Structure 1
Amino acid sequence: RTSTSRQAAVAAHVPGSIMAKSVVVHHELGYALAVVPSTHRIELGKLQDVMDKRLGLASEDEVVSLFDDCDIGAIPPIGAAYDVPVILDESLGDAADIYFEGGDHRTLVHVSGKDFRNLTTGARQARFSHRAY
């Protein structure tokens, strides 16, 4: 059991650059999932510019109410399952394989990059993060 996507990548011997991490942001019209590699940090200012909305990080209570079947910090990057739009950081765009936590800190999902792009069809892509690790 891990408590962050970065720890999950290390435990599974998966490069953090292909471990997708979902961050829930809120804006005046609702919520969005910002998806970045576990090695990256979101640049909220850039994301606000890209989305043309004033954003903030969702509180733990907001995350629990939106994703009530998921553990905090293990939100899968599949927004369609929760009717939440997704914005993908470009750094995940061309990966041959993607890993992500499947709603808890015990389940690691591995999909091909092609399948991941199919699962996130309609998601916007932009550069809004920087490598932190």
Structure 2
Amino acid sequence: MGVAITLAQYLAERGVKYDVVEHPHAVTASESAKTSHIPPNRLAKAVVLKGEDGFMLAVLPASAHIQFGRLRKQLGADVDMASEEQIETLFLDCEPGAVPAIGAAYGLKVIVDDSLANEPEIYLEGGDHASLVHISGSAFQKLLADARHARFTESP
């Protein structure tokens, strides 16, 4: 499948250069990082959240976990993970569990963990379980300029 059409169009419209890194099929972001031989702190994973105001994305390193208490406090709202069925209706051109970390491409608000702020390069799911999108850290920051930035994760 490669890069989801919605994501590819969004990146092209903004003039973002990217590479596609193919890897053996992986189910989780951590597995994708491992099979791609990239540091998991440079793989931005997306977690779809549902709250009173609808859906949004939390973007964090594959090496970290969301601290929901901290996240809810940062947002000032009660949010939980969206169901797989809900996610599938939002990301029609993506395989389940391979959500790109660029929520604006899909009309979603985003909160991004501060731990991704200074990475020189970022990888993210492209919409399937066998490829990653590789962009510069500066391009990633520009793509998420309108996102909310906060610290809401912990590393294992």
Alignment of 1:19 onto 2:81: no
Describe how 1:78-89 pairs up with structure 2 within 5 A: 78-89=102-113
Partner of 2:116: 92
Deviation at 1:85, TM superposition (A): 0.5
**1:32 counterpart letter in structure 2:** M
* Distance of 1:49 and 1:32 partners within structure 2: 15
Sequence identity, in percent? 42
After TM superposition, where is structure 1 displaced by more than 3 Å over at least 4 residues in a row? none
Secondary structure of 1:25's counterpart equals strand
Partner of 1:59: 83
Deviation at 1:30, TM superposition (A): 0.5
**1:34 counterpart letter in structure 2:** A
* Distance of 1:18 and 1:7 partners within structure 2: 13
* Distance of 1:73 and 1:98 partners within structure 2: 18
**1:7 counterpart letter in structure 2:** E
Deviation at 1:69, TM superposition (A): 1.1
Partner of 1:121: 145
Deviation at 1:119, TM superposition (A): 1.4
* Distance of 1:131 and 1:73 partners within structure 2: 21
Number of residue pairs matched by the alignment: 132
Deviation at 1:44, TM superposition (A): 0.8
Deviation at 1:101, TM superposition (A): 1.1
Q: Which protein has the larger Cα radius of gyration, Structure 1 or Structure 2? A: 2
Deviation at 1:107, TM superposition (A): 1.7
**1:94 counterpart letter in structure 2:** N
Secondary structure of 2:94's counterpart equals coil
* Distance of 1:56 and 1:88 partners within structure 2: 16
Partner of 2:64: 40
Secondary structure of 1:76's counterpart equals coil
Per the normalisation by structure 1, the TM-score is 0.96
* Distance of 2:65 and 2:96 partners within structure 1: 17
* Distance of 1:121 and 1:103 partners within structure 2: 22
**2:105 counterpart letter in structure 1:** A
